[in-house]
């Protein structure tokens, strides 16, 4: 049985009990209690991203439900959301399967990501305050430190944090949400190649921050585009290297 052994909710069977345990798993505070399906969504997404649930794997509702200690209903709803975001495929009358990204799709996603991130960098350069710049430097330092320490986890986290912050700086909420989704998926795709290009990436990050600091939108856009394009190329090369055709 390929049941993952992650959160596993206690025997608590009431709605409240299930919610609490799952929420703590997701480490979130809720004023107005978020629906259970939200916690389930986050739990499942996490399981997919960290590859506990493998691409192509058939996700049986009742199994996930029992694993998380809830009923099928919230699981269904979470799975459907995961579908619209491209994490799983829902085949009518057959159920959910963890999405298996094709090379072509990954490449397309990375190019879309390029376009969106480039635009966000441009906007960020137009709007960043000195305080924002200070924060950017901080994130950059953290990333470089993590890289020096060869702490993969930390580098990945720092990378995500830096990009997320620039995205926020753009001031365009619609754009930011889109990038958040796309980026997460992109990271999932190129996770295998991890830190093969760590050094270069953080040099490029420095260039991006410089452009934002100087308030030069065109330059920021150019450098960000270069950066994300390099990532895309790295992905391609990695792919060609590992699948020698």
Partner DNA sequence: AGATTGCTTATTGCATACGAAAATCTGTAT
Partner DNA sequence: ATACAGATTTTCGTATGCAATAAGCAATCT
Residues of the shown chain interacting with its own copies in the complex, contacts defined by CB under 8 A: 32-35, 37, 76-77, 80-81, 84-85, 92-93, 105, 108-109, 111-112, 115-116, 119, 172-175, 178
CB of 90 to DNA, least distance (A): 6
CB of 60 to DNA, least distance (A): 4
CB of 242 to its own copies, least distance (A): 22
Taking the least distance from each CB to its own copies, the nearer of 73 and 203 is 73
CB of 42 to DNA, least distance (A): 12
CB of 115 to its own copies, least distance (A): 5
In SS3 terms, the chain reads as: CCCCCCCCCCCCCCHHHHHHHHHHHHCCCCCCCCCHHHHHHHHHHHHHHCCCCCCCCEECHHHHHHHHCCCHHHHHHHHHHHHHCCCEEEECCCEEEECCCCHHHHHHHHHHHHHHHHHHHHHHHHHCCHHHHHHHHHHHHHHHHHHHCCCHHHHHHHHHHHHHHHHHHCCCHHHHHHHHHHHHHHHHHHHHHCCCCHHHHHHHHHHHHHHHHHCCHHHHHHHHHHHHHHHHHHHHHHHHHHCCC
Residue 119 interface partner, choices its own copies, DNA, none, CB cut-off 5-8 Å depending on type: its own copies
Residue 242 interface partner, choices DNA, its own copies, none, CB cut-off 5-8 Å depending on type: none
Taking the least distance from each CB to its own copies, the nearer of 140 and 225 is 225
Residue 16 interface partner, choices DNA, its own copies, none, CB cut-off 5-8 Å depending on type: DNA
Interaction site with DNA (CB under 7 A): 14-16, 18-19, 32-33, 35-37, 59-62, 65, 70-74, 76-77, 90, 92-96
């Amino acid at each position: 049985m390929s049941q993952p052994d992650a959160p596993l909710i206690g025997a608590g069977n009431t709605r409240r009990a299930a919610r609490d345990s799952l929420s703590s798993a997701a480490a979130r505070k809720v004023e107005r209690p978020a629906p259970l399906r939200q916690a389930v969504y986050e739990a499942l997404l996490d399981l997919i991203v960290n590859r506990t649930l493998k691409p192509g794997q058939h996700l049986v509702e009742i199994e996930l439900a029992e694993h998380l200690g809830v009923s099928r209903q919230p699981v269904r709803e979470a799975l459907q959301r995961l579908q619209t975001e491209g994490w799983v495929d829902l085949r009518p009358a057959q159920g959910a399967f963890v999405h298996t990204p094709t090379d072509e799709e990954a490449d397309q996603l990375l190019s879309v990501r390029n376009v969106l991130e480039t635009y966000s960098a441009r906007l960020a350069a137009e709007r960043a305050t000195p305080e924002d710049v200070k924060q950017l430097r901080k994130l950059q330092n953290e990333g470089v430190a993590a890289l020096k320490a060869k702490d993969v986890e930390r580098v990945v986290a720092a990378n995500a944090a830096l990009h997320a912050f620039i995205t926020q700086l753009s001031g365009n909420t619609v754009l930011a949400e889109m990038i958040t989704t796309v980026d997460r998926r992109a990271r999932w795709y190129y996770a295998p190649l991890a830190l093969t290009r760590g050094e270069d990436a953080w040099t490029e990050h420095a260039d991006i921050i410089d452009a934002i600091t100087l308030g030069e939108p065109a330059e920021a856009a150019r450098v960000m585009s270069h950066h994300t394009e390099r990532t895309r190329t790295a992905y391609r090369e990695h792919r060609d290297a590992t699948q020698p055709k």
